[in-house]
Each structure stands twice: as C-alpha cells, then as structure tokens.
Amino acid sequence: MNKKYSMLFMLLIFAGAILCDCQSTASEKGSAPEKMVQQSEWPETEQPDSETTYLDEYNQVLAGMQGGRVALVYLDDDSVPELVCLKDGEYLMYFFDGSKAGKIPLPNDEMKANAYGTRFSMESTDNGELTFYWFEYVPHKGLVRIHGGDDEKRRDYYLVYEDGALKVELEADDAGYTWNTYDAEGEITNEEFSDRLAEIGYDDLICCDYLYGDVETAYQNMGHTSDTHEVLSDFINGKTYAAEYVESRCDVPEEGFFMRSYADFNEELTGGESCWEGAEYVDFDNDGEDELIMHGYAGARLYFDVTGDTIYKVLETVFTTDVSYVAKRKGKYVVVKTDLTHGGRKDYQVMTYDGCCCLVDCFRLSAVYEGEDYESGDRFEYRNQAISMEEFESIRDSIQGE
C-alpha cells in the first residue's frame, strides 16, 4: 500500500471511532426522558384522595355543630360540591379549598339565611302561621337565594357566589303591602327587577329538596329527585299528607310540620258540600310541572306544590271578595286574586311564582269610582301609580283566565 492510501485508511478508522463514541453518548442522553416518563406514571394511590379529603372535612364541620341536617350541592362550576347545613333555623354554607373546609360568609353580619319565617303579606292568611324556606340555588352558576327579615317582615336576597364569597345582586320585600324591589344601588322598578332575574338566570333556581343527618348519606343521594305527579296523586288518594304550616322550628323540618289529609282539607274547603269540590293540575309556578289546586265553596282555592317528597300549601284564597284563578301574562302563569263584588271598586292582585313556588312579583290593579260602574274620569292605579282607564282595561284584559 503506498503512502497516500495508507494515510486515507488511517483517517477513515479515526472518523469511525469518533462516530461510534457520539452515538453512544446520544443514546445515554436519550435515556433520561424515558426515566422521567416512568416516574410521572406512579400509581394514583400515592396521590392524595381529594374526594375523601373534602368529605372528611365536611364531616368535621358537622361534628362541630353537634347536630343539624346537611346537603351537598354544586354552587360553582368545579367538581367539588359545597356543603349546606341547617342548624338552629338557619342555613350555613361551606366550601373546600383543596385542603380544608371554610365557611362561606353572608355579605354582612346582620343578614341571615332563615329556614323559618312568615310569608309575604300579599299571600298570608290572617292566622300568621310560619312557613318553611328551602335553600334555593342554580346548580353550577353561583346563584343563591336566601330569605331574611324577621317574624314581622320578610326580605329575599338574591346572591352571587364566587371564590368562597357571596355578594348581593337583588332584593325584594313587601313593606306596607307594596312589592318593593332593589339592586345593589337601591330601589328599582318591579319590571326592571323581573327582567334582571331572567337576565342573570335566577329563573332557574331550584330547591335543595332533601336534607340528611350525615355527610355520607348526603353524598350518596346527590341529585335525588321525586316524581311530583306521583306525590300529588298519593295525597289525593289518601296515601300521604300535606304540610299546612310549621308548627315548631327544628333541625329536622318534617318533624315540625302540621300535616293534614286531602279529605280533611276538602271537608273544610267545601263545608261538606260535594257540589263545590274539585281539583285540577296547573303549572302555576312556571317550573314545567303541574301543581295542585283544590276548589271549594264559592270560589275558594288552595294551592299546593311539592318539594322533594313533601307537599306544601302555598296559598289560600277564600270566597266572594278573594276569588282567584290562574292566568297567563307575558309568557308566565300568574295567580290573580280579585275583589269585584264590592260597590265602588274593582281590585286585582296579580302574583307571579317561580320554580321554587316563591313569590317573585306582585302588583295591584284597581279602579275606584262612584256609581254603578267606572268612567274615564275615575281613579285607576297600577303598581301604586295613576293610569288611564284605557291602560287599566288593557292590563285587566291581559290577566283573564284561560
């Protein structure tokens, strides 16, 4: 081999050795990502069990109360439910922040989320019986309604939940037999209030139907619902009873309800005269399900709704000067109470209920006059404001029964 080819051969051997060494080094470097992938696939049992953690935390909350009833609900859009507790007549709310349970405070210290209280004065009977307020919310939307006030006056608060806190969005009360509505800035018109309820999404409020004695049972029964029609049918057929009012306040609500049978209600409503009795299914609270209306003497009515497996008397209207019926106005069912038999006035009270059978609007429409009938120069009112005779008749015609 001559000198020229000898040098070329030595260069090829040297280059091959360098190439082999580089490939070996690259192979060793490439093994590190493979090892990291294997470490990231550790069994899930080595990670904390968040479900067990939040249930344990909620159990500790309940244990610290030494009694009460609970439910698990989804207030916001994450996968961890919030805890609702009924204790000493008030609802308390808790959330899990990933490590511990924290109390969700109400917007101010004076505000309470009452479970017991009065009805609005527009729908109350004269005996002042207590009613029960369920906790009401829109799942995953952060919308909550609570009922405040005291035994003399009720106030409804529409709240928004976000990041462990609540703020007031809207309010309503009925001071002086007038339906008063507010937002965070102050008083607003009833029409604006109704529009805001729909815009924000409060039209979709549902009741927290069931409360349980322990967190585990509440967890196992999340999402449990009842068949409203079946519950009402059982009531009519004498298999179950309906709550007329709250007889005593307690943390097990159903133990404090005053219950009556369909036959008992019917006997009182008709005076034992079968010609007056009757029943119909009507969706008077706009939730897509029919509720029960019992008919009685001279136009008397009892309105019943279902929450969970319990039937409640929502509204009672008597006869002659308090005749009621269901109409449809602006796409929603309304209950209309009338006083049309007294001389010198024609009066309509129009009430709108939502899916929790809670009163969300109420207004009066009236004509006051002398003589046998009204004329254009007489006094006409709508929501406590003077209107013309033509406006009166237009609104009156919009609330005629179907």
Half-sphere exposure of 217 (CA within 13 A, CB side): 8
Same domain, 148 and 294: no
Q: Which of 220, 252, 279 is the last residue of a domain?
A: 220
What is the spatial distance between Cα 354 and Cα 284, in angstroms, rounded to a whole number?
9
Amino acid 44 reads E
In a domain, 40, yes or no: no
What is the pLDDT, as a whole number, of residue 104? 97
Q: Are residues 185 and 143 in the same domain?
A: yes
Using one digit for the tens of pLDDT, what is the confidence trace for 78-110? Answer: 999 999 999 999 999 999 999 999 999 999 998
Decide which of 177, 196, 220 is a domain's last residue. Answer: 220
- Is 322 a residue whose pLDDT tops 50? yes
Secondary structure letter of residue 401 according to DSSP: B
Mean pLDDT to the nearest integer, 210-215: 96
294, 280 in Cβ contact below 8 A? no
Higher local confidence (pLDDT), 66 or 94: 94
Shared domain check, 198 and 59: yes
- Domain match, 77 and 175 both: yes
Q: What residue ranges in 174-235 does DSSP mark as E strands?
A: 180-183, 186-188, 206-207
State how far the Cα of 291 lies from the Cα of 357, in Å rounded to an integer.
10
The alpha carbon dihedral of 23, 24, 26, 30 has a sign of: positive
Pair (64, 212) in one structural domain: yes
DSSP 283: -
Q: Answer for the pair 315, 303: CB distance below 8 angstroms, yes or no.
A: yes
- pLDDT at position 123 is 86
Say if 155 falls within a structural domain.
yes
Strand 116-117 to 131-132 pairing = antiparallel
Range(s) of the domain holding residue 402:
321-402
Is the same domain home to 291 and 151?
no
The answer on 186 and 79 residing in a single domain is yes
Spatial CA neighbour of 122 closest among 171, 190, 178, 172: 178
Same domain, 151 and 216: yes
pLDDT of amino acid 44? 38
| pTM listed for this prediction | 0.85
* Residue type, position 281, single letter: Y
State pLDDT tens for residues 360-386. Answer: 999 999 999 998 899 999 999 999 999
Q: Are 190 and 363 in contact (CB under 8 A)?
A: yes
Which of 190, 220, 250 is the last residue before a domain boundary? 220
Same-domain check for residues 100 and 198: yes
Q: Measured between alpha carbons, how far is 119 from 132 in angstroms, rounded to an integer?
A: 9
Our count of domains for the chain comes to 3
At residue 182, φ and ψ (nearest 5 deg) are -140, 155
**In the chain, pLDDT over 90 holds for what percent of residues?**
74
**CA 348 to chain CA mean position, Å:** 28
The verdict on residue 101 lying in a domain is yes
